[in-house]
Amino acid sequence: MPMNERTRLKHYWNELYPDTGEGKLNDFLRELEPKNSPPKQAETDWYKDAIVYALYVDLFNKDFNGLSDKLDYLQDLGVNCLWLLPILDSPMRDAGFDIKKYDRIRPDLLGLTADSSREEQEAVFGNFLKEAHSRGIRVIFDIAINHSSDQHPWFLEARKSEDNPYRNYYIWSKNTSLYGKARLLFKGIEDSNWEPNGDGWNYFHRFFSFQPDLNYKNPDVLLAMSRNLLYWQTTGVDGFRADAIPYLWKEEGSNCENLPKTHTIVKFFRAILDYTKPGTLLLAEACQKPKEVVKYMGEGDECHAAYHFPLMPMMFKAIALEDGRPVKQTLSPAVTPRIPANSQWLSFLRVHDELSLELVYVSEEDRKFIHDNYCHQAEWDFRLGEGISARLSELMQRDERKIGLAYSLMLTLTGTPVVYYGDEFGKWNDEKYYAEQIKLTGKDDTRFLVRGRIDWEKLQENLKDEESFHSRVFGMISSMLNTRKDERVLGRGTTGFLLAETLSGEKTEKVLAYTRTLEDEQLLVINNLSSGPINIRNPFPDKDLMLLFPQGFSVEDENSSFRFEPFGFVWLRVI
Active site residues: 243, 285
Tell me the residue type at 516. R
Cα torsion 20, 22, 27, 33: sign: positive
Rounded CA-CA distance 506/498 in Å is: 13
Cα torsion 201, 202, 203, 208: sign: positive
Q: Looking only at Cα atoms, what is the longest distance across the chain?
A: 84
Q: Of the candidates 354, 351, 482, which has an alpha carbon nearest to the alpha carbon of residue 423? A: 351
3-state secondary structure of 206: coil
Q: Of the candidates 465, 460, 395, which has an alpha carbon nearest to the alpha carbon of residue 423? A: 395
Q: Residue 116 CB: number of other CB atoms within 10 A?
A: 16
3-state secondary structure 319-346: HHHCCCHHHHHHCCCCCCCCCCCCCEEE
3-state secondary structure of 394: helix
CB 288, CB 360: distance < 8 Å: yes
Q: How far is CA 382 from CA 137, 373, 434, 446, in A?
A: 34, 15, 13, 6
Those residues whose C-beta lies under 8 Å from the C-beta of residue 299, and which sit 6 or more positions away, are 340
For residue 345, how far is the Cα from the chain centroid? 10
Those residues whose C-beta lies under 8 Å from the C-beta of residue 94, and which sit 6 or more positions away, are 207, 208, 210, 211, 441
Those residues whose C-beta lies under 8 Å from the C-beta of residue 186, and which sit 6 or more positions away, are 207, 208, 383
Q: DSSP string of 58-94?
A: HHHHSSHHHHHHTHHHHHHHT--EEEE---EE---SS
Q: Of the candidates 553, 554, 498, 487, which has an alpha carbon nearest to the alpha carbon of residue 522? A: 487
CB 480, CB 411: distance < 8 Å: yes
The C-alpha torsion from 387 through 390 and 396 to 399, rounded to 10°, is 180
Query: Helices then strands (H, E): number in the chain?
Result: 20, 22
Q: Of the candidates 80, 86, 84, 110, which has an alpha carbon nearest to the alpha carbon of residue 98? A: 86
